[in-house]
Amino acid sequence: MKNKIKQKVFSGIRATGQLHLGNYLGAVKGMLALQETHDCIFSVVDLHTITTPYDPDSLQNSILEIAIDYLAAGLDPKKCKIEVQSFVPEHIELAYLLSTIYPVSRLQQLPTYKDKTLQHPKYQNMGLLFYPILMAADILLYKTELVPAGVDQEPHIEVTREIARKFNAMFGETFPEVKRMETVGEYVPSLLGTGKMSKSVPGSYINLADSPDVIYEKMSKAKTDSGPQSKMSKLPEEGAVANLFKIFGLFDVKRAKVFESQYLEGSIKYMEMKETLAEVIIEVLQPIREKRNDLERNKEYVKKILLEGSIEARHEAKINLNEVKQKMGLI
Ligand code: TRP
């Protein structure tokens, strides 16, 4: 159909260092698919970044690094808009407005708030409690319908739906119902045997920018177990080796199957599997790494993309924010 309006998509990544495979498979691959068919805005959410300890001197660089990862992975500014959250101050204004219709007690119960305050007991702050409201504002500012994000973001997306419903009930139909887009790799296990790949756990992850040497080294340190002693009736369901099979399967199902049968026969050599997995990952990341190196040398171009994307996004943001203010009786 010719004039069919494309569905709105928004997603954001915090500017805390470089992207790793978990971000790539969990969020970025979804973004890549959606930019072909949907009306997408992808954000570097710097205002969320500052809710946990960070270094102000390197924040600008961290923002650029995420943008470089976005572009290197294949986001195309001709097909989607890439913004920096703080370049569009309407995010903050909408967040404040939405905060007036949402209870504090619900925010205190959220698992991410509890986790982060435990992780940084000396860095408890209002911004951290406010985090889900700002995220809801990110999403609702563009009347987003679909959010590609990892499964850990589901509680925040539920908050977004609650806010949208309440706003619609109080002030009239304004926001659509938002859904999270599930991706196959939304839970990428850690290389350390427990939990998921996470920037805050050293040794658990592989970065998109890691060189082949670093990938081999990280993979050689990945945890395994003492190995099958004889023929096995089934594959492990949890633990370090199950995780490695899972990561392998996310990249190359065929080659993963070879090692899975070796496991069942009791003949698997973990070192060999880890080396092959490293090779597979290096192969997938090679074009991304090359493009990344080009962009690193051309940061002015990256800054221009961010500025242009933010200006375009802001235009839409202003229209929607105006509607909200009108409905709330502020103008
Ligand atoms: N909270 C998300 C994370 O930590 C980042 C984020 C902020 C986001 N705003 C968003 C994700 C809006 C999706 C949509 O990964």
193 assigned to some structural domain: no
Is 198 among the domain residues?
A: no
Q: What is the CATH number of the domain that holds 71?
A: 3.40.50.620
Measured CA angle at 225 (ends 275, 240), to 5 deg: 75
- Can you tell me the distance from the alpha carbon of 80 to that of 142, in angstroms, rounded to the nearest whole number? 13
Residue 134 CA, closest ligand 1 atom number: 9
Residue 1 predicted with pLDDT over 60: no
Q: Strand 179-181 relative to strand 8-13: parallel, antiparallel, unpaired? A: unpaired
Residue with tokens 């404040």: 96
184, pLDDT greater than 70? no
- Is the pLDDT reported for residue 187 higher than 90? no
Q: What pLDDT score does 194 carry?
A: 87
State if residue 134 touches ligand 1 by the CB under 6 angstroms criterion: no
Does residue 322 share a domain with residue 264? no
pLDDT over 70 percentage in the chain: 98
When divided into structural domains, the chain yields a total of 2
CATH number of the domain within which 247 lies: 1.10.240.10
Same domain, 303 and 182: yes
Position with higher pLDDT, 213 vs 16: 213
Residue 205 domain flag = no
pLDDT at 209 exceeding the cut of 70 = yes
Q: Is residue 1 part of a domain?
A: no
Looking at residue 154, what is its pLDDT? 93
Q: Are residues 228 and 141 in the same domain?
A: no
Domain residue limits at 105: 8-188+298-327
Name the token pair of 259: 């090692």
Is 3 a member of any domain? no
User: Are residue 315 and residue 174 in the same domain, yes or no?
Assistant: yes
Q: Which run of H or of E encompasses 316? A: helix 299-327
Question: Tens digit of pLDDT for each residue in 70-127?
Answer: 999 999 999 999 999 999 999 999 999 999 999 999 999 998 899 889 989 999 999 9
pLDDT average, residue stretch 49-53: 94
Selected residue with higher pLDDT from 199 and 104: 104
Please tell me if the CB atom of residue 51 comes closer than 6 angstroms to any atom of ligand 1: no
Which of 26-30, 60-64, 105-109, 262-266 has the weakest average pLDDT? 26-30
CA-nearest residue for atom 6, ligand 1, is 12
Interstrand relation of 81-84 and 146-148 (parallel, antiparallel or unpaired): unpaired
Look at residue 250 and tell me whether its pLDDT is greater than 60.
Answer: yes
Question: Is residue 196 situated within a structural domain?
Answer: no
Block residue for tokens 């090359």: 290
Residues 115 and 184 reside in one and the same domain: yes
Mean pLDDT for the stretch of residues 178-193: 85
**Same structural domain for residues 302 and 288?**
no
Same domain, 172 and 80: yes
84 and 218 housed in the same domain: no
Report whether pLDDT(36) > 60. yes
Encode 62-109 in three state secondary structure: HHHHHHHHHHHHCCCCCCCEEEEHHHCCHHHHHHHHHHCCCCHHHHHC
Whether the pLDDT of residue 2 is over 80: the answer is no
pLDDT score of 178 more than 70: yes
Instruction: Flag whether 150 is in a domain.
Output: yes
Buried b / exposed e across 266-288, counting CB within 10 Å, b at 16+? Answer: eebebeebbebbbbbbbeebeeb
Query: Is 303 an annotated catalytic residue?
Result: no
Shortest-distance atom of ligand 1 to CA 131? 1
Report DSSP letters for 198-211, one per residue.
Answer: -TTSTTS--BTT--
Beta bridge partner(s), residue 196: 189
Q: Is the CB of 321 under 6 A from ligand 1?
A: no
Give the residue-averaged pLDDT of 174-187: 86
Contact predicate 83/315, CB 8 Å: no
What is the mean predicted confidence (pLDDT) over 212-228? 95
Q: Say if residue 130 is in the same domain as residue 164.
A: yes
- Residues 13-24 have pLDDT tens digits of 999 878 999 888
39 within a domain of the structure (yes/no): yes
Q: State residue 189 phi and psi, 5-degree precision.
A: -70, 155
139 CB within 6 A, ligand 1: yes
The pLDDT tens digits of the residues spanning 273-321 come to 999 999 999 999 999 999 999 999 999 999 999 999 999 999 999 999 9
Q: Which of the following is catalytic: 199, 246, 303, 327? A: 199
- State the average pLDDT for the chain: 94
**Residue bearing tokens 């670093």:** 214
pLDDT tens sequence across 131-164:
999 999 999 999 999 999 888 899 999 999 999 9
Regarding whether 280 and 307 lie in a shared domain, the answer is no
Q: Which atom of ligand 1 is nearest to the CA of 10?
A: 14
Q: What integer pLDDT is reported at residue 182 of this predicted model? A: 82
Q: How confident is the model at residue 196 (pLDDT cuts 50, 70, 90)?
A: confident
Please report, in angstroms and rounded to a whole number, the separation of the first and last CA atoms in the chain.
Answer: 37
- Whether residues 305 and 288 share a domain: the answer is no
- Mean pLDDT to the nearest integer, 211-236: 94
Residues 69 and 101 reside in one and the same domain: yes
- pLDDT tier for residue 3 given thresholds of 50, 70 and 90: low
Side-chain-side CA neighbours of residue 212 (13 Å): 10
- Residue 114 is among the residues annotated as catalytic for this protein: no
